[in-house]
Amino acid sequence: MPAKNTATPIQKALTKIRPSWIARVGQELARGMEVRAGFEEQLDRFFSLLEQSVTTGDPAWMDPILLDWAKSSTETDLEEGLYHVSFLINRMIALTIQVSRESLTKQQAIDLLASVIPIYTYGLEVVARYEMETRVAHISSEMEKVQKRMEQVDKSKSAFISVAAHELKTPITLIEGYASMMDDLAHDKNNGHLESLLVGMNTGIERLRTIVDDMIDVSLIDNQLLTLNFQPIQIAHTISAIQMEVASILANRKLTMDITEFDGSKQWIYADSTRLMQAIQNVISNAIKYTPDGGKITIDGRTLPGFIEVIVADNGIGISAENQAVIFEKFGQLGRVELHSSGKTKFKGGGPGLGLPIARGILEAHGGSIWVESPGYDEIRCPGSTFHILVPARTDTPDGEMKKLFDTLERKK
């Protein structure tokens, strides 16, 4: 004998409306909502779990698909405050009512809706709770990010005030003192010391100008307004020019600077010669500042695919691991500012902490990078630091006339 059909009237009603329900829901909700691929398969899965919930009387069968849908909310949905899954279930309820009216008798529709509406309501509660928890977590995460940025801004502001007060105080006091003495000498015929006083005043003015120029450069870098004038250069020429600039400082500090002619140092590349020299000089000046008198600085390098690497090493006091990123941040002073020497080129000399951030900004504007390696900080054993500078080996330029000059230089090599 054939097996009896033991399905309940509600199960039969669900089976009857299933094709129409999937087609109607899929057609309406997929339109204008940019629903992901496989939405019809998801609806089929949803309806199967709905039948299981009705059969067992346990709405928890719906949990897996409800949570999967709730988790699928995109970052954009969260930022824009959209609740797609809640809307989806609400529309499913309305469409279930419509399909039931069209496909079933009045009593069958009433009985079916009496069974499925509580399950839909349960689904709304689960999804709403999960979406709200997800939204709260997203907002909390965003608030933490904002708070961290605000803390960084506050630290930067505090550092700026401290550094500016310390760095600007010395040259301003110097200028004021020399100006006062010059005023006294102006009333005295014996003014042979006037020239030396003017030299001192000019030194203070020059230091002020350097600080202000560095602050302007940092502002340009931060606002992505740094413009580069690309022209053919050789890194070897740039390093030689820097060597001449710091020769007197090296002599006064009894420092040795060994420069090795490395592969790529005489290769013609396109770069902003002035800015690149500024970046490399800032790194070398940092090595001079943190290397004790009588120490040694070496400059070497190599070619890498698409880049020329300049390596500046010293046997100075080194940098601790936790500070190797700090030194490339604005006003990234190590140690107490008020304990620094006021001399810019003296051992552990003062400065606003902008040299290395500017170097990083210039190199990144070129498409390069910079990083440092050091065994650690030790003023007794002096483990030293090694700075790696990557300069793109750019051989083309948008300027046609400049390219002709470059090609001419290459043929003469």
* pLDDT attached to residue 76: 47
Q: Check: CB of residue 405 under 8 Å from CB of residue 393.
A: no
- For the chain, report the end-to-end CA distance as a whole number of angstroms: 100
- Specify the range with the lowest mean pLDDT, choosing from 162-176, 237-251, 286-300, 366-380: 162-176
The two structure tokens encoding residue 23:
């087609």
Asked if residue 7 has pLDDT above 80, the reply is no
In whole angstroms, give the CA distance from residue 160 to residue 169. 13
The number of beta carbons lying within 10 Å of the beta carbon of residue 373 is 14
The top-scoring range by mean pLDDT among 2-6, 188-192, 296-300, 317-321 is: 296-300
β-strands 369-373, 385-392 pairing: antiparallel
What distance in Å separates the CA atoms of residue 396 and residue 403, rounded to the nearest whole number? 7
Domains and CATH numbers, the chain: 9-147 (1.10.490), 230-412 (3.30.565.10)
Of 137, 68, 124, give the one whose Cα is nearest residue 93: 124
**Which DSSP state fits 223?**
T
Q: What angle do CA 3, 52, 62 make, to 5 degrees?
A: 170
Give residue 261's pLDDT: 93
Residue 162's alpha-carbon distances to 209, 300, 331, 343, 351, in angstroms, are: 19, 36, 9, 17, 12
**H or E element, residue 320:** none
Structure tokens at 80: 């824009």
Report, as an integer, the average pLDDT of 123-145. Answer: 82
Please give the pLDDT value at position 154. 66
> What does the alpha-carbon distance between residue 228 and residue 361 come to, in Å, rounded to a whole number?
12
The CA-CA-CA angle for residues 41, 46, 49, to 5°, reads: 130
C-alpha torsion angle, residues 109, 115, 118, 121 (rounded to 10): -50
- Tokens found for residue 234: 């050789």
Does this model's pTM top 0.85? My answer is no
Short-list 269, 240, 261, 259, CA closest to 367: 269
CA distance 64 to 70: 10
Best mean pLDDT range from 68-82, 150-164, 343-357, 377-391: 377-391
Q: Given the DSSP bridges, would you call strands 269-271 and 256-259 parallel, antiparallel or unpaired?
A: unpaired
Which contacts (CB < 8 Å, 24+ apart) does range 28-37 have?
28/91, 28/95, 29/88, 29/91, 29/92, 33/84, 36/72
SS3 349: strand
* E strand or H helix that includes residue 240: helix 235-253
Average the pLDDT over 74-96 and give the result: 68
- Cβ(349)–Cβ(289) under 8 Å? yes
- Model confidence at 182, pLDDT cuts 50, 70, 90, reads confident
Q: Report the pLDDT value the prediction gives residue 367, as an integer from 0 to 100.
A: 94
Cβ neighbours of residue 341 closer than 8 Å, sequence gap 6 or more? 347, 348, 349, 350
H or E element that contains 283: helix 273-289
Q: Is 160 exposed, middle or buried (0-12, 13-18, 19+ CB in 10 A)?
A: middle
Contact predicate 320/136, CB 8 Å: no
Average pLDDT over residues 164-185: 72
**Of the listed ranges 156-160, 195-199, 394-398, the one predicted with least confidence:** 156-160
Q: What proportion of the chain, given as a percentage, has pLDDT over 70?
A: 78
Question: Sorting pLDDT into bands at 50, 70 and 90, what band is 326?
Answer: confident
- CB–CB of 320/342 below 8 Å? no
Name residues whose C-beta falls within 8 Å of residue 45's C-beta, 6 or more positions apart in sequence. Answer: 65
Q: Are 129 and 46 contacting, i.e. CB atoms less than 8 angstroms apart?
A: no
